[in-house]
Structure formats: C-alpha cells, structure tokens
Chains A and B, each alone.
Chain A
Amino acid sequence: MPESPRLLAGTLDLLILKTLSLGAMHGYGVAQHIHRLSKDALRIEEGSLYPALRRMQVKGWVASETKRTPTGREARYYRLTAAGRRQLAEEEDLFKQSVAITTRVLRGSES
C-alpha cells in the first residue's frame, strides 16, 4: 500500500469547519465526510478530530448539542456558529494564499 499524504499542519481545523458548513453532523459523520471527499487519500488519525472539535468549541466557532440519530441513538451533533463561519472564510483565504505562495516558490519563477 503506497504511503498516503499526511495532512498539512493546521489544515484539520479548516477541513472540519468546511465540513460543518454543510450542516450539523456528529463526529463520525465529519470523519466519514472528510474520508469520502478526499477519496480516502488523506491519512488522518480519526481520533484527532475530537480534541480539535473541543478546541473549536471553546473558541466559540462550533456549538454542539445532543440529538437522536436516525437509528435512534443519542449522539453529539456539531454545528458552525456565526463566529465559526467568519473563521472559515478567513482560514480559507489564508490557506489559498499560502498554497499560492508555496506553489509559486516551488515553481521557482517570479511572475
């Protein structure tokens, strides 16, 4: 099995925020979504989602509530707050800029 690429440092938050911008979901749902969209190409330790969610919750980007799942079990659903949306926009811009800069440097030309 070929080594799948690691997540760039600091991008996990971005991915989580982006995922939650689609709607409220529980932790497992977030993990599945990232897996699906990245076509299982990203190797993340699924557990690390949870500390990240906790951090974002304390910062007020994410709120959570306990809801019943369609299968009738209790689960914690996370959703984006207004502050979370602002943060997502900001991080998206930052990420795009940093990718652009990094790409430019890697290309080795000044354009």
Chain B
Amino acid sequence: MTPRELLGRITAWWRRDELARELTAELEEHVRLLARDLEHDGMAPADALAAARRQLGNIGRLREESRDAWGIPALETVMQDLRYAFRGLRRSPGFTATVIATLALGIGANTAMFAVIDRLMFRPFPFLRAPAEVNRVYLRTTYRGSTNANPVFPFLRYHDLLEARRTVAAVAAHSEWRFAVGTGDASAPRKVVGVTPSFFEFFDAPAALGRYFFAVEDSAPAGVPVAVVSHRFWSTELRSANVIGQRLKVGVVDYTIVGVAPRDFVGLTDGAPPDIYVPLGTLPANLGAWSQESFRTDYSWDWVQMIVRRKPGVSTEAVSRELTSAYIRSRAAARALNARVLPDSLVHPVAIAGPVKLAAGPDAGAESRVLLWVTGVAGIVLLIACANVANLMLARVIRRRREITVRLALGVGRGRLVAQFLTEAMLLAMLGGIAGVVMAQWGGAAIRAMLLPQGTPFDLATDWRTLGVSLGCAAAAALLTTIGPALVAARTDLAGTLKAGAREGTVQRTRTREVLVVAQGALSVLLLVGAGLFVRSFVHARSVPLGYDARPVIEVVTDFRGYTMDSATAVVVRRKLLAEVQSLPGVAAAARVNSRLFGTNTAQLRVEGIDSVEALGRFNFQITSPDYFRVMQTRMLRGRGFTDADREGRPLVAVVSDAMARALWPGRDPLGQCIHVGLGANPSAATAPCTTVIGVAENTAQQNITDDPRFMYYLPVDQVAPHQLSTMYVRMSRPDARGDLDRIRREVTRAMPGDGFAVVRPLQDVVDNQTRSWRLGATLFVAFGGLALVVAIVGLYGVVSYSVTQRMHELGVRVALGARSHDVVRLVVLQGVRPVGIAVGIGLAIAWTVAPRVQPLLFRQSAVDAATYVGVGVTMLVAAVLASAIPALRAARADPSAALRSD
C-alpha cells in the first residue's frame, strides 16, 4: 500500500457515512438514467425500471465492495476484534465487573498517588520558562550532627548571593505572607507574595492587564507601593473592572494596582494561589518598624526565597559551587556584624542549587519520602491487581479452551488469537482505567485532603500528565494480564484437547495460577508489614507524653493592622483583650504566649557554676501570662506558677521544666536557683540580673515530639514584654475546640480596636502536623495493604474453587474409596494454604531485605519487628484457610456415586 493510498483510505474511512450516501445517490441516478434510455427504446416504464435494476446488479454487494476501498484492513481487524471482545465480555458480566473493579482499584491508586506527588514534587509551575534551567537556592548547614537545608534566608544574604554571576543568568527573590487585604467588611486575610521585579521575567506570562514591576519600584529604602493582582482576585473581588490605578489596602499599606496577572498564574506558590503580588522591598512595611529599618542591613531574619536561572550549558553543581563561595563570604560579612555567627568549620555551610519544588528539595523532610514509598506501594497494588486479573483471565481461557481449540482447528492463526486476547485485555484495562480515574477524582478526596496543601487545583479530567500515567498503567496492565492467556493459547494442543478427556493438562495451568497467587501473596505480605510498622510508629508517636492537652485549645493570632499604640497603651489594650477573651462564654481559660508550639525560641542563658549552658543542649523559653499552665494542662511538679503579682518592678521569676532542672542542678533543689537570661531590656546574659526559679513544671514537647530534650523555661509576660505578644491560647470548656473555632474568631475580632482581626486554628492541628508523616504512612499503607490482602485472597479463593471443580471427579473417587469428609477438607485447604505459606516466606524475606531503607521513616520502631512479621504471617495464613475453607466444604460433599456414574 502506497502512502498515498493509505492516506486516501484513512480519509475515506473518516468520511465513510458521507461516501456511502453518495454511492447510493449515484446508483439511483444510474438506474434512473438507464430506465429512461430503455423507455426511450420503447420499453414500458415499470419494465424499464426493473430491467435497469437487474442490469445494475446486486446493490448490497456493490456497497460491500465499495466499502472495501475505504479504511485500513488492519484497522478493520482491530474493530472486528473489539466487537468480538465486547460480545465476549457482555456474555460474562460477572467476570467483566470483577476485572474492571480490580483494575480500577490498582489504576485508581496509582492515578491518585501520581496526581499528588506530581503536584507536590515534579510538575513545573505554570508559565515558568525552560523549567529545567531554573533552581531554587537552599542553604545547608550541619551543626552538631543535624543537617538543615533552608530555602528561606535574610534579604541581605540574598543580596550577597547575587555576586554569583559567572554561572547564573538571572536571579529573583520571593516571599509569601498572609495579610489583611481590602477595607471594611470586604477585608479578609489573603496570600500576598513579595517579589523582585526580575521574578516575572522567569515566566512567559504577559500581564493580562497593565504591567508588572519596574526595577525602580523595588529600590531602597522601601520601594514603591504598587501591586499586581491575580486573575482570580481581579475577576471575583474586583469584578473584572479596569482596576489599573485603583487603590488596594494590603495590611497597613495603601498600594496602587498596576497590573493583573494572567489566568492560572501562581508564581512559585504551592497550594492555594496567591491573590496579590507586591515589590519585595515594600513587604517589611507591613511587618513592623524594626523589620522595615533592618532588613537591608541585618542578617537576623529569614524571610526571602531565591531562584536562579543557570547560564546555558552550566551544571547545577557549578552553580552550587559559585553560590557556596558567595555564601561563605556572606557569612564572614555577617560575622563582622555579629560575633555570635558560628565559624564555618562548625557548621559546614553549603549553598545548593536544588529543585524549585520545595517538596522535592533537600528540605523536604520525612513526608516526601513517605509519599514516594507509598507511590511505590500503589505500584505494587497495581501489580497485585494485574496478577489477580491474569489469574481470572487464565481461568477464563482454560474454560474456553474448547472454543479456542475449535477456532485453531478452523485455521485461525495463533497470532490472531493472541491479538484477540490483547484486544480484550486492552478493552478491560481501558474500562478499568476510566473507572480508576473516576475513583481517583471522587474517591481520592481523602488522600488529596491529607496530602496536598489546601486549595491545590485537582481536576483530573483535564490533567494530561496524570491521564497519561493512568493510560500507561492501563496499557501495562493489559500487557501483563495477556501474557498468561497468550501462552496457554499458543501452547494449546489441538488433538489433545479436542479429545473428550479434558482433565489432563490442567495441572500445569493450575501451577501457573498458583505462581500468580504466590506473587500476589508475597506482595501483600510486604505491604501488610509496611502497614504494621507504620501503624506501630504512629501509635508510638501518639503515645509520646506531650505534657499538655491541645485538643480543647484554640490558637488565636491577633493582628492589630496598623492600629498604632505606644507601649503603655499596648500594655493596657492587650491586657484588656485577654480579659475580654477570658470572659467569653465557653472559654475555660486563656493566656498570652510568645512562642507558638513547635516554633520555639532561644535566648542567651547563663547559670552560675556552669561554663557553657549551650553545650548541654538547646534551652527554649516561653513568655506567658499566669493562666498558661491551666490552659495547657501542664502540671506543676514543685513550687508555684505565675500570678498577676509577678509584674514589672517585682522580683524576676521563672518556671523551668523538670528536664532542665535535672540538667542544670542535678541532685539539688531547683527552687530558688538563679538563671540569667539575655532578653528584652538585658540583651546580654553576662550582665542580666538573677531570675529566680519559683516552680518546676512537667516536661512538655515544644521543639518537636521526637528528640527534643524538653529543656524549657517560662517567664511571666508582665516582667519581660507586657506590651508585646500577639498570640493567645484559649482553652474551651468542651473537650474539642473545633466547634467553637469560628465563634471565637468573630468574638475576638469584635473585641479588637480599629481594623484589627484574629486568625484562629485548633492547636491540635499543630500537634497533628508533628505526627503527620507516620499518620500518612499508617493510613496509606493500611488502605493499600488491606486492598492488596482482599485482592490476593479473592484470587486465592478463585484458584482453589476452580481446582475443586476440576477435581470433583477425583475427590468423589477418593470418597468412594473411603476418604472421610475431613480428609477431603484437609486436602483442599492444604492446597490453598501451601502457596500462601510460600508467599509469606518470600514476602517476609523481601520485607527484611528492604527494612534498613524504611527504618529512618519509622518512630521508635524497629523495621525488623518480630511481632509485626509474625502477626502479618498469621493474618495471611488465617485468611488463606478461610478462603480455602469454602470450596473445601463444597468438596467434602463430593458425591461418590456421581463420580463413578460419570465414567
């Protein structure tokens, strides 16, 4: 077939209906003309028409013949196979439904997991030009054995890193915040991103309206307050008006809108897209006078993230090297300002040009690694599903081998037969794939909510990357599940099977099916072991004594939004606000705090008799109002907590944690001891006065829940920072604070002066975040492991059940020869349990082999935990016994007389 002809055939096939109509019209015209001519020759009109039709020939055949010219024979064959497959599947709806459901589980699991990790780790941000050339800069330090790769650093450091010009073509910085935007009723907290004007040049995203920033608008000292709004903000909040030149209040600053970003532009933000972009240098105006004055001259505050575009042909390593030398010079500059900056030999500073996606970067943490593992697990679930489907298909082929043999005998090529199996498998896999995508979209909501930042777009129907992966999974599943049936078909012995005795030959095939059961079982065991380990880790993590009860507590962050107060007024306003919150209905207690949970702070600390307190570990402090211990339900072990009497002008007092007391004064009474804290009015511990320890509180997990040594001390707010602290912890009288969340937010906002407002969240969320990676691992492993177990056991049931049907005759003979029913049951159950026993062995061996790689993700849990391994093995075997018991009981009723009669 020439290419031209192929093209002609394809076009003709495409227009086949039209062409068929044309042919009919042409044939009719022919008959009409012929009849007319015959009439002209003197024939009667009716006879002429009949004669014309006769002369034309068989119209049906003519159409068939013409149609042969349209389309491609191979395509016709495929269509024929498809129709054949459709008919075959319609005839066995049970089989079809089972296969589609099984594949849908496997493909759905993979689709959902891919959609998640792709969004978190791989998919480039929309509009980003040549994403492969762009890197985010991480600054890594290793101090006292713990490594920290931080993507956020001071503005001044970013400025120093700009020196790296040899390898870097372009640089931009960005910083993400939440500020109140708008005025009056319309004001609400929104995501605001500060960017350098160069930021937008990383994207191929011309402004939908207006322009982006000029360099001068981000220049020292404070830039020009101009703003670009997101397309969504523009169309929903600003009603798509021509807003260029309009005013927009962001935080406490009046901005002028100069542009609208294009639809779907999110910058470099994960999760909910930002609403407003402003010049980076204008951000600090919203963060207090100190920030605004110091951000260009001080290294003390991490808030800027940096991206670079490599010059063509430059490797990331080369960029990292150049950035590292700039980083080291920058640290030297910082040390000249502040002698406390640690020497490089202690912290090994390295700059890394890493992935733009934070979750794929060196700072990603355990969660990303758990997710990659779980994605692997989803792959295993698909393999198990494939094994199961292959098993079902094999059984089906074996059932249909008479039909297959007859077709082979009639001259159907074996290749053609395999093509038909493949078509059938493809059809099933595609249907399974579609069901899987639907499952991932609608049923994956839980996974999504658990894994993705809130607001991340998640529409699979238009997500070609994910659909491509689903398609790939489906195609792989089709190929994997066809191998078995294809082999059987290829090996079918014509003469042997055409003879009536169908019993021989089945042993071999049952063995193939048993191998599949072993494979499924082993993979299930692997997943169940993973599930067991993660569940135990999670249980351990949950049972760590925290020293507080966060469930009834609401974290309230107050934002006075430009309501300017001098210190004296601030003291009064903040005290009054706390008193009002304490008197709200449903509130049991409330306290002001300085550090948020797991966001602790340290200060210089000196204790007489100890050379270096810092050498003992990290000592965190908390500044609180008297009710703090009641709010947190932290027990006082010795002495007393704070009272309203511990205020300015009174003797300085502190409460320390039990662990801190034991570390600083082992064997001595901590009450009455002195600590010297470099904080507030006394920035140096060397000259700070004595703060007397008046109480010892139980240990609390504040830094993290794992290796935190629980060194904590508490200082009364009225003695340290009476005019500061914008966070409150509010304990509700009900055991769960969630129901009161919104009411408290409204009440506190109402109690605040000016445009001030409150942002709330349940404190328990902050605690749960700490155990998230284990909870994720536990939930997903249990879900997928359970799925795998069910699929594997159903597969086993199918095999045993089928083999019982096959052996009914033999079993009948056994019974006739005197076998008792429990002998038969034992025989059948053993047959089912044997492959599972092997599977347990193999699965546990694999688990043991990969254990060292999972170990770092677990919490106080050995990855080769005997109890878990034994438990999984026993579960698997019990499930196998149950799955075999049903067919075994049927076998026990084998009727010897029927067996004997049939021969």
Residues of A within 8 A of B (CB): 26-28, 31-32, 45-48, 50-51, 54-55, 57-60, 73, 75-76, 83
- The reply to whether B26 and A47 form a contact with Cβ atoms under 8 Å apart is no
- The reply to whether B62 and A50 form a contact with Cβ atoms under 8 Å apart is yes
Residues of B within 8 A of A (CB): 2, 4-5, 8-9, 12, 19, 22-23, 26-27, 29-30, 33-34, 37, 55-59, 62, 65-66, 68-70
- The reply to whether A57 and B59 form a contact with Cβ atoms under 8 Å apart is no
- The reply to whether B33 and A28 form a contact with Cβ atoms under 8 Å apart is yes
Residue from B9, B58, B62 having most chain A Cβ neighbours under 10 A: B62
Q: How far is the CA of A55 from the CA of B71 in the complex (A)?
A: 11
Q: Does more than half of chain A's interface fall in helix, strand or loop, or is it mixed?
A: helix
Name 13 interchain pairs, CB-CB below 8 A, sorted by A. A26-B29, A27-B26, A46-B30, A47-B27, A47-B30, A47-B62, A48-B62, A55-B68, A58-B8, A58-B69, A58-B70, A59-B4, A83-B4
Which A residues are in CB contact (< 8 Å) with B12? Answer: 54, 57-58
Which B residues are in CB contact (< 8 Å) with A50? Answer: 23, 26-27, 30, 62, 66
- The reply to whether B34 and A51 form a contact with Cβ atoms under 8 Å apart is no
- The reply to whether B68 and A47 form a contact with Cβ atoms under 8 Å apart is no
Q: How far is the CA of A55 from the CA of B29 in the complex (A)?
A: 20
Residue from A26, A51, A60, A75 having most chain B Cβ neighbours under 10 A: A51
Residue of B nearest to A47 (CB): B57
Q: Does more than half of chain B's interface fall in helix, strand or loop, or is it mixed?
A: helix
Task: Say how far A27's CB is from chain B's closest CB, in angstroms.
Answer: 6
Q: How far is the CA of A22 from the CA of B802 in the complex (A)?
A: 72
Q: How far is the CA of A76 from the CA of B58 in the complex (A)?
A: 21
Task: Say how far B319's CB is from chain A's closest CB, in angstroms.
Answer: 57
- The reply to whether A58 and B9 form a contact with Cβ atoms under 8 Å apart is yes
Within 8 Å by CB of B34, from A28, A48, A59, A73, lies: A28
Which A residues are in CB contact (< 8 Å) with B69? Answer: 51, 54-55, 57-58
Residue of B nearest to A49 (CB): B30
Task: Say how far A17's CB is from chain B's closest CB, in angstroms.
Answer: 16
Asked whether A46 and B68 contact (CB < 8 A) given A27-B26, A28-B30, the answer is: no
- The reply to whether A27 and B22 form a contact with Cβ atoms under 8 Å apart is no
Which B residues are in CB contact (< 8 Å) with A54? Answer: 12, 19, 23, 66, 69-70
Asked whether A28 and B65 contact (CB < 8 A) given A47-B59, A48-B57, the answer is: no
Task: Say how far A45's CB is from chain B's closest CB, in angstroms.
Answer: 4
- The reply to whether A48 and B65 form a contact with Cβ atoms under 8 Å apart is yes
Within 8 Å by CB of A27, from B2, B4, B30, B70, lies: B30
Q: How far is the CA of A46 from the CA of B62 in the complex (A)?
A: 10
Residue of B nearest to A66 (CB): B22
Asked whether A76 and B8 contact (CB < 8 A) given A54-B66, A54-B70, the answer is: no
Within 8 Å by CB of B62, from A31, A51, A75, A83, lies: A51
- The reply to whether A46 and B70 form a contact with Cβ atoms under 8 Å apart is no
Task: Say how far B48's CB is from chain A's closest CB, in angstroms.
Answer: 14
Within 8 Å by CB of A51, from B2, B33, B37, B68, lies: B68
Which A residues are in CB contact (< 8 Å) with B57? Answer: 45-48
Which A residues are in CB contact (< 8 Å) with B4? Answer: 59-60, 83
Q: How far is the CA of A47 from the CA of B68 in the complex (A)?
A: 15
Task: Say how far B258's CB is from chain A's closest CB, in angstroms.
Answer: 59
Residue of A nearest to B11 (CB): A58
Q: How far is the CA of A55 from the CA of B59 in the complex (A)?
A: 17
Q: How far is the CA of A55 from the CA of B62 in the complex (A)?
A: 12
Q: How far is the CA of A57 from the CA of B11 in the complex (A)?
A: 11
Task: Say how far B32's CB is from chain A's closest CB, in angstroms.
Answer: 9
Task: Say how far B64's CB is from chain A's closest CB, in angstroms.
Answer: 8
> Lowest 9 CB-CB distances: which A-B pairs, in order?
A51-B65, A47-B57, A45-B57, A58-B8, A47-B56, A54-B69, A51-B66, A54-B66, A55-B69
Which A residues are in CB contact (< 8 Å) with B65? Answer: 48, 51
- The reply to whether A45 and B23 form a contact with Cβ atoms under 8 Å apart is no
